[in-house]
Amino acid sequence: MKKWSSTEVPSLPVAHPGTAVQVHDTARGETVPVGEGDEARLYVCGITPYDATHMGHAATYVTFDLLQRVWRDTGREVVYVQNVTDIDEPLLERAARDGVHWEDLAQQEIELFFRDMEALRVLPPAHYVGAVEGIPDDVSAVEQLVAAGAAYPVDVPDTEATVEGAARVDLYLDLASQPTFGDVSGWTREEMMEVFGERGGDPDRAGKRQPLDPLLWRAGREGEPHWEGGSLGRGRPGWHIECSTIALRYLGRDFDVQGGGTDLIFPHHEMSAVQADAIHGRGSFARAYVHQAMVGLDGEKMSKSKGNLVLVSRLRREGVDPMAIRLALLDRHYRTPWDWTDDLLARAEERLRVWRAAAAHPTSPAISEPPDLGLELETVVRMRERLAGDLDAPGALVAVDRWAQEADGRGTGLVQVAVDALLGVSL
């Protein structure tokens, strides 16, 4: 699929090629080095395009943008893959509510998302892949699971009409046959049951062996989109299989980081991983699972379904500098849940003003004094240290604040370059 445009990333002198980059792995419950090889492979769960990008989405994509930038700065190649869930229940529901075609709605929201990402200077992935595009791979994967006895059929209720070419069964993964189930979240069955229903699961579906078993393939129903499904019959994939197969196709087994918001820990990342293991054997999915804490508004998770949204596009329309939005997002560590406030944005705008003023200092016309490299180098070292240590963006901002306070116009522009390369902020 088409993706959004990139901005140039200036390279800083690589002072520490190969330096370890640490992040918190949800599965192991500790901070671990990630992407230790020359090539770092990252998969981040993309949007379901039925509404515009809000601050929660933006925080997630800026967080993983930082990871990509820090990896690059340590001399690594990055292969970044992001999906877009361009077919799923919420998209169909919203399209029906608004009387528009689901494909038009998806297209329109994807375009808006691209403009938001470009404005925020989030680097695009190497591969941006739609769920629809991935359907042939989902079909092969589910066929394989059926053949291995890891998937089972559940009858479509008599009251639901299926399309020609569809089987009269939906297919589910048999979790009882999967020893790695639970390894990503580490949650108890009770904890899982608490959220499964509200996060796209169907615990009450009659005929399932276990309430948590995830849907792999849904037989095509009248009035719903459906695709060729080989031996599965016409239909469409369940949500989680899309990310299992896209990640495996574009990154291969055993990639470095699977990312997304904490709302995806269970069931989405748990199920994507267990399905990959079911297809290719234990240890097939990510080495580490990294999660952005939820961004809220007035004490509630910001979500399209609740409608309590602060949209990137609306702020842009109101004339807010996207770099101030980015700075506001960077001012909160990714592992701490936080609420969006106007005050946070106001402080980010002020910070941007101060940094820009410091960067704009004219250099001494007579060059009577040598540039003061000490402060600049120290600032860059600090920024790098903070970021390589569990993406401490707020810590990196403080290092730049100090520079902005002390800079006396004898700089070389190095910090400005570092702010661009590492933080993605153009001054």
52 binds ligand 5CA (CB under 6 A): no
- Name residues whose C-beta falls within 8 Å of residue 294's C-beta, 6 or more positions apart in sequence: 56, 261, 262, 263, 301, 302, 337
Best CA proximity match to 389, nearest among 25, 32, 14: 32
Q: Which does 216 bind (CB under 5 to 8 A by kind): ligand 5CA, Zn ion, none?
A: none
Name the residue whose CB lies closest to Zn ion.
45
* Residue 45 C-beta: closest distance to Zn ion, Å: 3
Q: Is 23 helix (H, G, I), strand (E, B) or coil?
A: strand
DSSP secondary structure letters along 79-136: EEEEEE--SSHHHHHHHHHHTS-HHHHHHHHHHHHHHHHHHTTPPPPSEEEETTTTHH
CB of 50 to ligand 5CA, least distance (A): 8
Q: Which amino acid is at 304?
A: K
Nearest to Zn ion of 45, 400 (CB atom): 45
The two three-digit tokens of residue 201, written as one number? 């699961």
CB 420 within 8 A of CB 10: yes
Compute the CA torsion angle 211, 217, 222, 226 (nearest 10 deg): 150
Minimum distance from residue 383 beta carbon to ligand 5CA (Å): 24
Interaction between residue 48 and ligand 5CA (CB under 6 A): yes
Distance (Å, whole) CA 34 – CA 42: 10
- Residue from 261, 322, 411, 424 binding ligand 5CA (CB under 6 A): 261
CB 73 within 8 A of CB 21: no
Q: Which of 74, 83, 245, 275 binds ligand 5CA (CB under 6 A)?
A: 83
Decide: is 214 part of the binding site for ligand 5CA (CB under 6 A): no
Binding residues among 39-58 for Zn ion as defined by CB under 5 A: 45
Pick from 66, 294, 311, 396 the residue near ligand 5CA by CB under 6 A. Answer: 294
- 152/334 with CB nearer ligand 5CA: 334
From 148-156, 163-171, 214-222, 260-268, span contacting ligand 5CA (CB under 6 A)? 260-268
CA distance 274 to 244: 9
154 binds Zn ion (CB under 5 A): no
Q: Applying CB under 5 A, which residues contact Zn ion?
A: 45, 243
Q: Applying CB under 6 A, which residues contact ligand 5CA?
A: 45-48, 56-57, 59-60, 83, 85, 243, 260-261, 263-264, 292, 294-295, 301-303
